[in-house]
Structure 1
């Protein structure tokens, strides 16, 4: 497949989601976040996810037009039941609400439960950074099937349980971390499968607990490992805390729900920087700190030091200019959906 312009991928995503039953507003939000992941170079969370979301809509695991209910609220906090709606829609709305709270109180926090996949957490924490706040977010897969083995074990008992933090700065691109507490996101295994690629050693063990580079083994009873390699107890510890914040604090619980319904649970918090220090001073000093780190002489074989988030910023510039690569397997799934919903002609899906 040749590279495809982001505008075209947005058009395709919106059309397919609407044909499957999403509203125009829901489809636009999901398409924005998915293609945003592609732009950042994280194709595992990009347009490759659209067929999965449509499958979940068909199964009733994602409910278009679901209510967004505030179960409990204070001046600084919220508990939100998304009623199995699109995770992107519910979480973006929650972030806007806690940013409003933080404008008047200095901080805001929320838990969200019973929602679909939320994608890259930095999609939301960078919203806080752009508003002059520090954003923090954790997520798990609720009681959906698990894919990560606890350190020392060979059976999956945890989700990939990501965490993200973003801070304001005067840098050209946003400074943030967005990382799974597993060796890799499950979506990266799916991406390797779609591309017919092996995965690096240390990511997955097979059902017998043996290391493997075959991505198929994850679906055949294997498990992802916690981040950290031989020091994987550190990633395991982080994953446990994320599970508590995103699963137990939200009320989702832990373990696997018998239906296998995917239901992301999230914890998010924002802190207004100028409640602690002048915002512009903070932004300037964060930028100076990043430039200080980048000035480190490169190690042998390295092209130099990047600040957290810089590689995604560079990827976005390149992909907006050159387009986004979409593997044949994903394009074929999108084309099949376009034919199923009889929108292929309007989308020109016979050619990229």
Structure 2
């Protein structure tokens, strides 16, 4: 096996079938590839940083594995680099934003920044966004609000794009994976953060399992005939994801339906399939200024106290104890920042191929 230092600079570990790459190098590689494909420097940096940050906290399904598909979408004209986002409807507390098929990472960050500015004076603000590409790890946006001393909420759906999740009791897709994320300011080292799909699992986890040659747990997927399956490849053969909750999947299904309304109908994309075939990810963003309700410093201290109260619960049998929302991601981030990010060789090879195609293999040391 290669030495740890070798792995950290991206040399493949043949026994483990992955490479381990330092985060800053991985960001530089992805940004260079996106820029070569036509993204502006700011867009390329935003997408690359967002993907690597997802890897750092353990959301590998939203990490650099997505970079080749983003480049494919750019080449197909489905993502428009440099698109100017516009506000099509606005009030002192609200805004409706048209992303004009721009990078979701870029458009959604601007929408959250706008909501935060509105909440500084109005205390509560809501923005909806439509006609943008995939927004990456949803938690990135509520975390912006938490850093500003506010509670941030974001929900996202796939808009008028093909759906992947069956409603509870069904075997045909009618819903997106429709994640919800909420971040709360606190005195904790790790963010107090909820970040969850309303499906049993994010669709990217299936792509990740395929790339790694792994089976998936029962309860994630049914095949085209409606039968449970542990083969992630069935997803590409007409399989459908299940809603969150297992035998109580009506809960995840109900949450997903509400997200469809907030991010789809309220944001304007509507239902059905986008005629252009483009991705059209809708997003609902809300910000609450804590200072309008409580003194911020007191609230942050009490959130930390509450987190410690949760962790004080005795562990159940076979458990390593209680983690408050966001804590595990933080611990993963510390470990991966120090030791590097595991990138499955299938994804690493795609990045190398792109580097060769764009004449960057030597510059990026990906020969």
Q: Return the alpha-carbon distance in structure 1 between the equivalents of residues 237 and 276 of structure 2.
A: 19
Q: Which portions of structure 1, spanning 4 or more consecutive aligned residues, are displaced by more than 6 angstroms?
A: none
2:110 corresponds, among 77, 84, 93, to 93
1:223 corresponds, among 240, 249, 272, to 240
Q: Return the alpha-carbon distance in structure 2 between the equivalents of residues 255 and 37 of structure 1.
A: 30
1:47-66 aligned at under 5 Å gives the runs: 47-66=64-83
Q: Return the alpha-carbon distance in structure 2 between the equivalents of residues 349 and 256 of structure 1.
A: 39
Task: Tell me if the contact between 2:274 and 2:280 (Cα under 8 Å) persists in the aligned partners.
Answer: no
Task: Tell me if the contact between 2:179 and 2:198 (Cα under 8 Å) persists in the aligned partners.
Answer: yes
Q: Return the alpha-carbon distance in structure 2 between the equivalents of residues 279 and 288 of structure 1.
A: 14
Q: Please say if 1:111 is aligned against 2:128.
A: yes
TM-score normalised by the chain length of structure 1: 0.98
Q: Please say if 1:166 is aligned against 2:186.
A: no
Q: Secondary structure of the equivalent of 1:208?
A: coil
Q: Which residue is equivalent to 1:186?
A: 203
Q: Return the alpha-carbon distance in structure 1 between the equivalents of residues 74 and 349 of structure 2.
A: 20
Q: Return the alpha-carbon distance in structure 2 between the equivalents of residues 65 and 34 of structure 1.
A: 19
Q: Return the alpha-carbon distance in structure 2 between the equivalents of residues 126 and 191 of structure 1.
A: 25
Q: Which residue is equivalent to 1:202?
A: 219
Q: Return the alpha-carbon distance in structure 2 between the equivalents of residues 345 and 152 of structure 1.
A: 53
Q: Please say if 1:121 is aligned against 2:138.
A: yes
Q: Please say if 1:247 is aligned against 2:272.
A: no
Q: Return the alpha-carbon distance in structure 2 between the equivalents of residues 304 and 43 of structure 1.
A: 24
Unaligned runs of 5+ in 2: 1-11, 13-18
Q: Secondary structure of the equivalent of 1:164?
A: strand
Q: Secondary structure of the equivalent of 1:9?
A: helix
Task: Tell me if the contact between 1:273 and 1:279 (Cα under 8 Å) persists in the aligned partners.
Answer: yes
Q: Return the alpha-carbon distance in structure 2 between the equivalents of residues 203 and 256 of structure 1.
A: 24
RMSD: 0.7
Task: Tell me if the contact between 1:157 and 1:255 (Cα under 8 Å) persists in the aligned partners.
Answer: no
Q: Please say if 1:343 is aligned against 2:357.
A: no
Q: Which residue is equivalent to 2:8?
A: none
1:44 corresponds, among 58, 61, 68, to 61
| Number of equivalenced pairs | 350
Q: Return the alpha-carbon distance in structure 2 between the equivalents of residues 195 and 255 of structure 1.
A: 33
Q: By how many angstroms is 1:258 displaced?
A: 4.1
Q: Return the alpha-carbon distance in structure 1 between the equivalents of residues 106 and 284 of structure 2.
A: 15
Q: Return the alpha-carbon distance in structure 1 between the equivalents of residues 314 and 38 of structure 2.
A: 53
Q: Which residue is equivalent to 1:157?
A: 174
Unaligned runs of 5+ in 1: none
Q: Secondary structure of the equivalent of 2:153?
A: strand
Q: By how many angstroms is 1:105 displaced?
A: 1.1
Q: Which residue is equivalent to 1:137?
A: 154
Task: Tell me if the contact between 1:117 and 1:262 (Cα under 8 Å) persists in the aligned partners.
Answer: yes
Q: Return the alpha-carbon distance in structure 2 between the equivalents of residues 229 and 34 of structure 1.
A: 29
1:148 corresponds, among 154, 159, 165, to 165
Q: Which residue is equivalent to 2:3?
A: none
Q: Return the alpha-carbon distance in structure 1 between the equivalents of residues 239 and 96 of structure 2.
A: 35
Q: Secondary structure of the equivalent of 1:3?
A: strand
Task: Tell me if the contact between 1:138 and 1:242 (Cα under 8 Å) persists in the aligned partners.
Answer: yes
Q: Please say if 1:273 is aligned against 2:297.
A: no
1:324 corresponds, among 331, 341, 346, to 341
